[in-house]
């Protein structure tokens, strides 16, 4: 090769290095995060670092994938919205996605976890505000619907009946103080189904009492994701409320009926899965040993194995990153089972394929385990929006007194 040809190759490589680094920096991602988002596999960050440093260069297919990686968020707020909403304890925006599908525009969001906030920003083009406990309710914009998937916490003052002061020190208190200040027309809350029995029922009793004292008519139900076309046995309690001061016109709401759509795990599994998701001999032997110990004790605890024909899995949890024991995929005789991939976890929760996963596998497992089964929330959101529009309609904040007529 001539010297000129060598110079041209070096120049092309240098240009590619520069373009790859610029692309990553525009996205605001670390090398590890961008490598994970690109699906470069084990040690992908090292590969990306070599590309950026000019030590090697990507194949034409890899370079094309990098350059075509979306810089515009795939799920921006709609230009023409039917209603406004705020997204508290937003996580990666699962609840927002469901309500946005029915015309909701998010005017405020809050999430304290920096990794979840990064995933949220990449997908929605907005960086959530931080710790909600440090944000004054009066600084939050007016909105029609409050959304929150809040953690289950005991109330130290439960039973003293001091209004929402009973909940001070918990994150539900922040929901209550925002409801009191902003008086949105409706709210949607999601929690683990055990909330109803938490602290001998006192926690849930306090929540309902506080919501009623804030002039909201409250509905709640436990729904299962597998009954709404999601191959996951995930049960959650959903709490819906409508502002109803002075016993005014009630919103005719009812929870959606299950579709009982047939589900099959194989429909969400990837075809070619990296070997890094196959669990080690040591981990598998530990799973087998613990399962046998539980069996001798007469209980069914231990790891759970599923295959393509399984109708659904166990509940995906935020601890899945540890050992994957609640959902392992059978790979046939002679091969250890594997964990779900992050993309499969996204599908298991009903996230669309366009949803970008810009974080490590560990963070992705936590994020999807903490999120919601989107099809269930979509069905509830549809009923909520229709119930409001078919009765009082979405109102300006100054028109709320009309609800009492």
In the 3-class helix/strand/coil scheme, how is 178-235 assigned residue by residue? HHHHHCCCEEEEEEEHHHHHHHHHHHHHHHHHHHHHCCEEEEEEEEEHHHHCCCECCE
State pLDDT tens for residues 92-101.
Answer: 999 999 999 9
* Superfamily for domain range 83-261+373-404: Vaccinia Virus protein VP39 (3.40.50.150)
Residue 303 to residue 283: CA distance in whole angstroms: 11
Measured from the Cβ of residue 139, the count of other Cβ atoms closer than 10 Å reads 9
Instruction: Tell me which range, 21-25, 227-231, 244-248, is most confidently predicted by mean pLDDT.
Output: 227-231
* Intrachain domains 3-67 and 265-359 with the same fold: no
Q: Report the CATH architecture of 265-359.
A: Alpha-Beta Complex (3.90)
Q: Does domain 3-67 have CATH number 1.10.260?
A: yes
The predicted-structure confidence for 161-171, as pLDDT tens digits, reads as follows: 444 454 555 78
| CA nearest neighbour of 106 among 143, 148, 60 | 143
What does the angle CA 89 – CA 92 – CA 98 come to, to the nearest 5 degrees? 90
Q: Is 169 left (phi over 0), alpha (psi -120 to 50) or beta?
A: left
- Average pLDDT of the segment spanning 112-129: 94
Percent of the chain with pLDDT over 70: 88
**Residue 56, both tokens:** 């090697």
DSSP H or E segment with residue 145: strand 145-149
Catalytic residues: 152
Query: Given pLDDT bands bounded at 50, 70 and 90, which one contains residue 139?
Result: very high
pLDDT band at 123 (very low <50, low <70, confident <90, very high): very high
Domain ranges, ordered by start, for the chain: 3-67, 83-261+373-404, 265-359
Tell me the C-alpha distance between 163 and 18, whole Å.
59
Calpha distance 403→121 (Å, rounded):
36
For the cut 90, the answer to whether the pLDDT of residue 295 exceeds it is: no
Q: pLDDT (tens digit, 9 = 90+) per residue, 355-381?
A: 999 888 999 999 999 999 999 999 999
CA angle 109, 366, 355 (to 5 degrees): 60
Least confident of 3-12, 277-286, 295-304: 3-12
∠ CA 319-324-328, nearest 5°, is: 145
CA 112 to each of CA 69, 132, 244, 373: distance values in angstroms, whole numbers, following the listed order: 27, 8, 31, 21
Is the confidence at residue 243, as pLDDT, over 60?
A: yes
Supply the DSSP string of 153-170, one letter for each residue. ---TTTTS--GGGGGTTS
* Statement: residue 153 has pLDDT above 50: yes
Residue 187 has pLDDT above 50, yes or no: yes
What proportion of the chain, given as a percentage, has pLDDT over 90?
58
């Amino acid at each position: 090769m001539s010297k000129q040809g060598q110079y041209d190759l070096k120049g092309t490589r240098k240009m590619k290095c520069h373009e790859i680094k610029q692309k990553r920096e525009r996205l605001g991602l670390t090398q590890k995060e961008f490598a994970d988002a690109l699906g470069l596999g084990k040690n992908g960050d090292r590969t990306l670092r070599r590309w950026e440093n000019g030590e090697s260069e990507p194949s034409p297919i890899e370079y094309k994938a990098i350059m075509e990686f979306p810089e515009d968020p795939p799920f921006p707020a709609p230009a023409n919205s039917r209603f406004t909403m705020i997204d508290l304890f937003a996580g990666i925006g699962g609840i927002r996605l469901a309500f946005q599908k029915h015309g909701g525009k998010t005017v405020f969001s809050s999430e304290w976890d920096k990794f979840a906030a990064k995933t949220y920003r990449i997908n929605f083009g907005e960086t959530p505000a931080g710790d909600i406990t440090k944000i004054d309710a009066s600084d939050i914009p007016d909105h029609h619907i409050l959304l929150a998937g809040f953690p289950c916490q005991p109330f130290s003052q439960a039973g003293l009946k001091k209004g929402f002061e009973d909940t001070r020190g918990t994150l539900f208190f922040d929901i209550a103080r925002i409801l009191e200040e902003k008086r949105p027309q409706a709210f949607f809350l999601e929690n683990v189904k055990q909330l109803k029995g938490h602290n001998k029922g006192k926690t849930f009793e306090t929540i309902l009492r506080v919501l009623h004292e804030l002039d909201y008519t409250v509905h709640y139900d436990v729904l299962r994701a597998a009954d709404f076309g999601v191959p996951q046995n995930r049960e959650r309690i959903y709490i819906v409320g409508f502002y109803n001061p002075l016993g005014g016109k009630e919103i005719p709401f009812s929870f959606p009926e299950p579709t009982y759509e047939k589900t099959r795990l194989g429909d969400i599994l990837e075809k070619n899965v990296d070997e890094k998701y196959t669990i080690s001999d040591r981990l598998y032997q530990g799973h087998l040993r613990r399962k046998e110990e539980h069996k001798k004790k007469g209980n069914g605890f231990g790891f759970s194995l599923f295959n393509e024909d399984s109708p659904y899995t166990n509940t995906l949890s935020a601890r899945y990153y540890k050992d994957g024991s609640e959902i392992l995929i059978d790979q046939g005789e002679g091969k250890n089972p594997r964990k779900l991939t992050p993309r499969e976890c996204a599908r298991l929760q009903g996230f669309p394929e366009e949803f970008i996963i810009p974080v490590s596998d560990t963070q992705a497992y936590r994020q999807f385990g903490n999120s919601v089964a989107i099809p269930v929330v979509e069905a509830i959101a549809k009923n909520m929006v229709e119930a409001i529009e078919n009765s009082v309609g979405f109102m300006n904040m100054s028109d709320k007194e009309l609800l009492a007529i």
